[in-house]
Every structure is written in structure tokens, then in C-alpha cells.
Amino acid sequence: MGLAGTALFGLQSREPSGPGKPGGKGRPAAPGLAWSTVVNVIRSIPHLKSAYEYCREIVKRSAGNFFLAFQLLPRTKRYGIYAVYAFCRAADDAVDELPEPSLRRAALTLVKRALERVYRGNPKTPMELALADTVGRYRLTKRYFDDLILGMEGDIGPVALNTIDELDEYCYRAAGTVGLLCIEIFGVAGEQAKRYAVSLGRALQLTNVIRDLRADAIRGRVYVPRELLEAHGVTVEDIAHGRRSSHVETLVRALIALAEAAYEEAERLLPRGAARKLLTSEAMRRVYHALLAKIEEDPQRVLTHRVRLTPWRKAGEVLTAITVIR
């Protein structure tokens, strides 16, 4: 199990140390318990700072495309994002790194218990401590975490989607939920902002689906809906075995069109008055859109290797976002 998983499940034996940060308030964590009181207690714990640093290390090792964009945030919000991402990474590791469905299910049960401890103000591990502080500071909506975990439960065994609506639901649970948590940390509210976050999450996740098409199929996870496979005359075996054909190319291009539509919708829904607060999200939109464009140059390359952007190209997209928004 990866660093994130060991941190979440309390398997990390090193005791964190370092000064915490006082202040702040939030909403009730549980009936009869004042969350503001819990938050003040949490921030008086001397290990809080190193708990956040531990989350930062997880993000630095595993975030890839995200880590650079996170650097655009003010420090406090950045570390809040680290805590959320590290928790999501740990939960994802529970499904991806364990070999048997029974073990994955047991691990996700531990994830749920950890989340309940966080929202009750009773964190036990460094990761839970950082997340509890972030939840209280930004009043993060628990339902988004619950929906995220529900999506991960769908990955415990083989995945076979039937319709595009099911694909959209998968994208919401896998990425839209994270986007909604992020905008709460960014301090952007309103229905348009929520729709923006969900649309951008859909675009990013569809890009992931396309990039990891063959790798997921080999693992028994087919996120391409059956209706699309049948419409283009492609089988799961064609994808898993990396069989190039005009049918596969048209299928991938159809998925690219879905992703492009999501990127366009996210751009249209961007709350212009809050664009600066959403700079990190816009940087990620540009990085992932550039990745999609690279895939589109030769759609069938996803059958042979994982398509990547160079670090310089990623940095260029981030700088472009800064220039456009600021």
C-alpha cells in the first residue's frame, strides 16, 4: 500500500511533530457538539503542522499534473487542498493497490470510518488531523466525500457501464465531487460555480478515461459505455489487446468529442467575477485540455502507451492561465 494508504489507516509509525495554528470556526460536527470548539482544540495540537506537511509529501509524490497548479494557491488554501487530495488518494489506493475485492471492500470500510472520525472531530492519524482542520476551516460538505467513496465502491470489482448517463455519473463521483470540495476551499459559492466544478470534473475524468483506456480494460474496468462500444463495432477484447483499427479510432474520437464538450461547458460556466479564485482550476483545465489535444493527434496511441505532457508544456499551460486570468 502506498504512502497515502498507510497514513490513512494509521500504519505510519513515525509520530509527527511541529507547531500547529490557532483560530477559526466551522459548523457542527455531530449533534450536540460545537464544531468551532473541536476546531480550536484541533489547532492547539502541536502535531498539526507536520500532519499537513505529511499530506503535502503525499501530493508531491503522486499528484503529477495537479501539484504544479496547487502552487498558485495561497498557503493556507494550498495546504487545505493537500489534505483533501491526500485523503482522496488514500481512498483510491484502497481500491487500486489491494489484490482482492474482499480486501478492497474492507479497506473502504476503514476509509468510511476515518471520514466519520474527521466529521465527529475525533481524528486519529496525521492525515485525519489535517483533514479535520480543513473541514472545519472551510465547512466542507460531507456529502461530496460520501459520493466520492460511493464511486470508489463501484471500482471494487469489474466495471462495465451501459450508457453515457452512467459514464456521467461515474465522472461526477470520481472527479466532480473533488471539484465541489475544491471550490469550497477556494471560497467560490453559487449554483453556477457548482455547475462549473462538475463540468470541469467531467472533462478531466473523461480525459483520464481516454488516456488509460487499455490499462483499465486489462484490469477489468471498462468505463466506455456498452452503447458506444456497440455503435462503433469495438469489443472490450479489442481494447485490452491493443488492436488498432478504424473502428477503435472512431470510438476514441467519439470519447474525445464528449470530453471537448465538457471542457467547453466548463469554460462557459466559469464565474468571471471569481476567476482569480479559480486560477488553479483553470490551470488544470488548460493542462488536461492540452493532454487531450495531444491524444487527438493520434487517438490510437492510447492502446500502446500512456500519453504524457512534458514538464515544460505543463508549466507553459499554467503560465498561460495566469496571464489570461490576471
> For the segment 161-175, what is each residue's pLDDT rounded down to a tens digit?
999 999 999 999 999
Instruction: State whether 18 and 79 are in the same domain.
Output: yes
Cell reading at 8: 490513512
- The stretch 299-304 carries a mean pLDDT of 96
Considering 113, 132, 156, which residue would you say is the last residue of a domain?
A: 156
- CATH no. for residue 267? 1.10.600.10
Q: Is residue 146 part of a domain?
A: no
* Cβ(95)–Cβ(104) below 8 Å: yes
Instruction: State whether 57 and 194 are in the same domain.
Output: no
Measured from the Cβ of residue 139, the count of other Cβ atoms closer than 10 Å reads: 12
Strand 221-222 and strand 159-160: the pairing is: parallel
Q: Domains in the chain: how many in total?
A: 2
Instruction: State whether 291 and 174 are in the same domain.
Output: yes
Q: Is residue 193 part of a domain?
A: yes
pLDDT tens digits for range 176-205: 999 999 999 999 999 999 999 999 999 999
| Rounded Cα distance, 234 and 220, in Å | 16
| Rounded Cα distance, 174 and 240, in Å | 22
Q: What is the pTM of this model?
A: 0.86
DSSP classification of residue 222: E
pLDDT tens digits for range 85-105: 999 998 888 888 888 899 999
**Residue 321 half-sphere exposure, CB side, CA atoms within 13 Å?**
27
Q: Which domain holds residue 271?
A: 158-326
Instruction: State whether 185 and 298 are in the same domain.
Output: yes
pLDDT tens digits for range 39-68: 544 454 558 889 999 999 999 888 766 788
